[in-house]
Amino acid sequence: MKSRVLFIVLLIVFLSELSAGEFSANKGLVAAWADGSYNESLYEKNIGIRAIPEFNYSQSVFNDNSLDLFASFNAYLSSDFDTLNYDLKLYRLKLRYADDQMDFRIGLQKIEFGPAKILRPLRWFDSIDPRDPLKMTDGVYAALFRYFFLNNANVWLWGVHGEDKTRGWERLPSVKGNIEYGGRFQFPLLGGESAVTYHHREVNLNLFNRFNKQFNENRYALDGRWDLGAGVWYEAVAKYADLDLLPYQWQKMLTLGADYTFSVGNGLYVIAEHMLIQLSKEFADSDEDDKTTALSVMYPFGIFDTISSITYFNWDENEFYQFLSWQRTYDNFAFNLNLFYYPQGEYSGNNNALHLPKRGYGAQFMVMYYY
């Protein structure tokens, strides 16, 4: 509640200066899709349309520093021919103040960081799916401060308003109304970039609406990226839950990745990542683990057409998850045809967007208009 009150106060101060700025309401996105899938004698189909209008107001203050107000809405309508789903909700609402080295944002916003592209242990506050052409994710109510040093180092500090829902890799929601906090320091190292990241939140464990328990959760992370001819990177996360009755108090995640553009035709771009997840009662143990490898390939055919694929292999389930996409782009339009095979349902279970196909064999066609 306090974070939202602070945002409203700053918004009132900003609105008092509106006469000097510029307003824009001519940007946004409209997307329509149709898909069908077959899984274990079950045929599913879905059609829908989504609109995300954007509004922006900006002005110069305090010796040409930038003050901006950005808002967008998410409206969708979809149907599986039995049930109609629809909603209109706030998608982004943030106030931003920035100068040459500092950036401060408060409001409903996206917070994203880390070098991994597909299997992302640092997906803490977003649910972006690499297969999603819209790159949709719900935002978080937060205050985010970033400062950029002249040697390319930068520091992030944030406070996030706790909500009764999960984000990223979370299995349990935060305590609603509490303030989560953390930070990130990114710095040059050996010709590349490295970073350390920390986040603290209070978690709400509610079993069968009868047993309620709150406990602290701390996350610690290291990551880095270097260009060694091929790009190479890693993300390592350790998460500790301070509650003895949980079967596992530690979750450890490690992703190693690389990318390279081969000189084949117009350039064949390849990404490979491998992720290990370990669950344990003690930090040094490994009571349960899961291993996944991902391979992404992208090839542009001329100016307008691109073919891409993402293949996941889960070593414990011995299953492949496959996604193939063709996209044709113009100035304002993009057309996507997607083919997929998800044997056990959607691979990562991390995206609640209704426009993403979920399971089985299937195809999807999507039209996107950017204005």
Residues 6 or more apart whose CB falls under 8 angstroms from that of 210 comprise none
Give yes or no for residue 352 having a pLDDT over 60. Answer: no
Which two structure tokens, joined as six digits, stand for 271? Answer: 């990404």
What are the φ and ψ backbone dihedral angles of 8, each rounded to 5 degrees? -65, -40
- 110-135 pLDDT, tens per residue? 999 999 999 999 999 999 999 999 99
* Least confident span in 11-25, 81-95, 116-130, 254-268: 11-25
> What per-residue confidence (pLDDT) applies to 343?
82
What's the whole-number average pLDDT of the chain?
A: 90
Query: pTM for the complete prediction?
Result: 0.87
Task: Tell me which of 356 and 13 has the higher pLDDT.
Answer: 356
Residue ranges of domains in the chain, CATH in brackets: 2-370 (2.40.160.10)
> What per-residue confidence (pLDDT) applies to 350?
43
> What per-residue confidence (pLDDT) applies to 153?
97
pLDDT band of residue 209 (cuts 50, 70, 90) is low
Give yes or no for residue 347 having a pLDDT over 70. Answer: no
> What per-residue confidence (pLDDT) applies to 12?
53
What are the φ and ψ backbone dihedral angles of 168, each rounded to 5 degrees? 55, -125
Give yes or no for residue 3 having a pLDDT over 70. Answer: no
Q: What is the CA radius of gyration of the chain?
A: 22
Q: Note whether 358 and 40 are within 8 A (CB).
A: no
* Least confident span in 2-6, 252-256, 288-292, 334-338: 2-6
Q: Note whether 162 and 190 are within 8 A (CB).
A: no
pLDDT band of residue 365 (cuts 50, 70, 90) is very high
The predicted model gives 279-284 an average pLDDT of 94
> What per-residue confidence (pLDDT) applies to 351?
43
pLDDT band of residue 348 (cuts 50, 70, 90) is very low
Rounded to whole angstroms, the Cα distance separating 105 from 66 reads: 12
> What per-residue confidence (pLDDT) applies to 307?
97
